[in-house]
Structure 1
C-alpha cells in the first residue's frame, strides 16, 4: 500500500469516528457536577462562609428521634447515632450540609461487612458523576461513578437540596445563583484593585501660576523624594491636594450591604443572624423570634429532612427517623413549664412525657409519700 493510500485510509477512519461521536445522543453522557473556578470559590466570600456555617451548625446539633413501626419512640441505632464509624455524626452532617448548600447534591456510599449494612461514607459531590443508562427520566437506571469505580443505585444514597424534574442532579443556592456570587466577589476585587493600582495618584500639586514642563517635573520629583514625614516647602504658588477617598468610596459600603442582604436571602437566613442591616425594619424580640421560626421551618428543614430521609433508607423496614424540632423551638423555662402544666391537666400528656422532653429520666409512679402501710 502506497503512502498516499495509507494517508487516505487513516483520514477516512478519523472522519467516520468523528461522525459516530456526533451521532451519540447527549443523554448518553454522564451528568458532571458544576464547577467553579478557583478564583471564584464561594467560601472565599465572608457572607457565604458565614451563611453556610450558620446552617451547618444548626443542622448538626439537631437531635434525631427514631421511631418503631407502631409509631413509638425507640432507642436510636448506630446508623442514626454514628452513621460513619470513622467520624462523628456532627462531622458527617457538616459535610452533607455544606455539600447541599454549595453543590446541591450529597452522596453516601453504603458500607457493608459480611453482607450487613454497618454504615455509610460521604463522597465529595464534585467527584461523583451520575448517568442514566436508560436515557429515560420517567424510568431512570442510575449509575454513579466515583474515582473510576461504578456503583448502582443500591449502593449510593443521593441527596438533593432542590429536586428538578428531568435533571439527574439537584440544585443548590450557590450553584443556582453563581452569577450573583461572582458579582459580589468582583465588587470586592474591584475595591482591592482600586487601592493597589499604582496608576492612581496619591495627590495633586497645583499652582496659580503658569509652569513649564521642566518646572512641573522638578516639583513632582522633589515632592516624591521627600518621603513620609518632615517639612515640605512649596514655591511658585504650589498647593498640594491629597486624593483621599471617603469611607463610602473606599469600602463600597452600599454595595457590600446589598451583597450581604442578597446572599442572606439566597441562603434563606434571617438578616439578624448575618448581622446585616435591612433598611426600614426594626429588630424586636418578637419579630426576631418569628424570623428564627421561619428560618427553621423553611430553610433548616430543607437540609434536615433530606438527611433524615437518607438515614431512614438505611433503617429496617417500617422504622424511620425525624429531627426533634421541639428542641430547637424551646422557649424560656417558665413558658415551657406552663405549657406542660396545661397539657398534663388536659390529660393529653403525662409527667414522664414532659420529663422526657426536658431530657430527664422518668420518675416512679409511686412516690414515698403515696406508699400505704
Structure 2
C-alpha cells in the first residue's frame, strides 16, 4: 500500500508494501495532495519580469545577454562512460537542433528563459523513438501537471486559446526537459534572479524615470508662480488655464531649458531647489545597479559600473564571472541534458564543458601545465591524467 493510499484511509495488510513503494519518496504523496492532479500555474508574472526587466532595464538586459551568450558559446564534450567520444549523435543534435536555428541560438534561448523566468523547457521531437529535433519553449505558456506521486506527470503548453499536453512516459525519453533554478518555496517551478532583485530593479527604473522627468521639465527642479494681484490673490479660471498652457508650451521641456520667463500682472517666480540629501537618488541608482548585477552573478566591473573595488582588475573579474557563474550554469545544464537524452543515446552518456577550448581560461590552463610539468615525482601518464587526458599507455 502506498503512502498516498494510507493518507486517503485505504487499508491494507501490514507488510504488503511492494517494491515500487520502497523506491518512492515517503513525502511525495503529501506534495501531490496540494494539487490533486490539477495544473500548477506559474506563480509569477513572467511577462512583467520580461517587460520591466529585460526590455526596459539596461543592467538586466546586459546581465542576461552576457550570461546567456557566454554560456551558449561554451563547447561541450561527450563521454560514453569514462571514454571521451570524438563524435557523438548527442553532440550532433545539439549542434543542429532544428532546421531554423543552430545550437548556440537554442542554448542562448534556454539560458535566457532560465535567467528571466527561473524555468526553461526543451521539447524533443522524436522519429521512431530517436530525438531528431530540439525546440526551446516559452515558460509563460507552459504549466506543470503534477501526478499522484508529487512529480510531474505531464506538461501543458497553451497559446492562442489552444493547448497541447505532453505526457511523461513511464520509461524512455520524456518529450519535455524542464530546467529550473533552485526555489525554496515551490515544488515545481524555479526562482528567477530578477525576482530576488525586484526591489533594486524598481529603484533603478524609478531613478531612470526621475531623470527623464527632469529633462522633460527643463532639466532642473520646478518652481512656484506666486500671484499677488487683486481678487483675493487668486487667478480666474480662464487666466489660470491660459497661464498653464503658455508655460507648458513655451517653457517646459529640454528644448526650452534656460529660456527667459516674462512675468506680468503681479506674478512672481520662486524656484524650488533640492538639497544634496534629496539628490542622493543618483547614488541609490548606482547601488541598485550593483545589486542587480550581484543577483545575476555578473561582476560590476564587467558592466562598467563604478564604485566596486572588490576585484583587482578586469581580468580577475572576468575569471570570477567564468568560474562562479558561467561554468556552474553550463555544467548543471549539460548534466540535465545528458540525463534527459540518455534513454535515446545510452545510459553511459555524459556531457561536460570542454574547458581546454575556453579562451578565457587559457591563463589558468597554462599555469596548471607548468605546475604539472615541474612535478618530477609524477609519471608521464599521471601528468596526462592530472590535466584531463587519458594515459598514453592505454592509447587514450
Return closer, same or farther for 1:180/1:131 CA change in 2, 3 Å cut-off: farther
Deviations 1:22-43 (A, max 9, x none): xx96444312222145595211
2:53 to 18, 29, 42: 42
> CA–CA distance in 1 between the matches of 2:36 and 2:76?
39
**CA contact 1:142–1:152 (8 Å) conserved in 2:** yes
- Partner residue, 1:150: 165
1:308 to 311, 334, 358: 334
> CA–CA distance in 2 between the matches of 1:25 and 1:72?
44
Cα deviation, residue 83, structure 1: 3.1
Deviates more, 1:243-252 or 1:267-276: 243-252
Aligned length: 325
Return closer, same or farther for 1:252/1:25 CA change in 2, 3 Å cut-off: closer
Correspondence 1:185 to 2:205: yes
Correspondence 1:75 to 2:87: yes
Cα deviation, residue 112, structure 1: 1.1
**CA contact 2:197–2:291 (8 Å) conserved in 1:** no
Return closer, same or farther for 1:234/1:110 CA change in 2, 3 Å cut-off: closer
Cα deviation, residue 172, structure 1: 1.9
- Partner residue, 1:296: 322
Cα deviation, residue 99, structure 1: 0.5
Cα deviation, residue 253, structure 1: 1.5
After superposition, residues 170-181 of structure 1 pair within 5 angstroms as 170-181=190-201
Return closer, same or farther for 1:90/1:212 CA change in 2, 3 Å cut-off: same
Return closer, same or farther for 1:184/1:203 CA change in 2, 3 Å cut-off: closer
Cα deviation, residue 295, structure 1: 2.6
Return closer, same or farther for 1:320/1:163 CA change in 2, 3 Å cut-off: farther
Correspondence 1:323 to 2:353: yes
- Partner residue, 1:20: none
> CA–CA distance in 2 between the matches of 1:243 and 1:67?
70
SS at match of 1:41: helix
- Partner residue, 1:30: 39
2:126 to 85, 96, 112: 112
**CA contact 1:63–1:323 (8 Å) conserved in 2:** yes
1:253 to 278, 282, 293: 282
- Stretches of structure 1 that go unaligned for 5 or more consecutive residues are 1-23, 358-373
TM-score, scaled to structure 1: 0.69
> CA–CA distance in 2 between the matches of 1:187 and 1:230?
26
**CA contact 1:343–1:349 (8 Å) conserved in 2:** no
**CA contact 2:372–2:386 (8 Å) conserved in 1:** yes
TM-score, scaled to structure 2: 0.66
Return closer, same or farther for 1:103/1:215 CA change in 2, 3 Å cut-off: closer
> CA–CA distance in 2 between the matches of 1:293 and 1:352?
24
After superposition, residues 100-139 of structure 1 pair within 5 angstroms as 100-134=114-148, 136-137=149-150
Deviates more, 1:238-247 or 1:33-42: 238-247
> CA–CA distance in 1 between the matches of 2:374 and 2:298?
33
Return closer, same or farther for 1:291/1:90 CA change in 2, 3 Å cut-off: same
> CA–CA distance in 1 between the matches of 2:141 and 2:369?
50
After superposition, residues 273-292 of structure 1 pair within 5 angstroms as 273-278=302-307, 281=309, 283-285=311-313, 288-292=314-318
> CA–CA distance in 2 between the matches of 1:127 and 1:159?
15
> CA–CA distance in 2 between the matches of 1:169 and 1:151?
17
Cα deviation, residue 129, structure 1: 0.4
**CA contact 2:154–2:165 (8 Å) conserved in 1:** yes
- Stretches of structure 2 that go unaligned for 5 or more consecutive residues are 1-32, 169-173, 390-396
Return closer, same or farther for 1:254/1:353 CA change in 2, 3 Å cut-off: same
> CA–CA distance in 2 between the matches of 1:308 and 1:344?
36
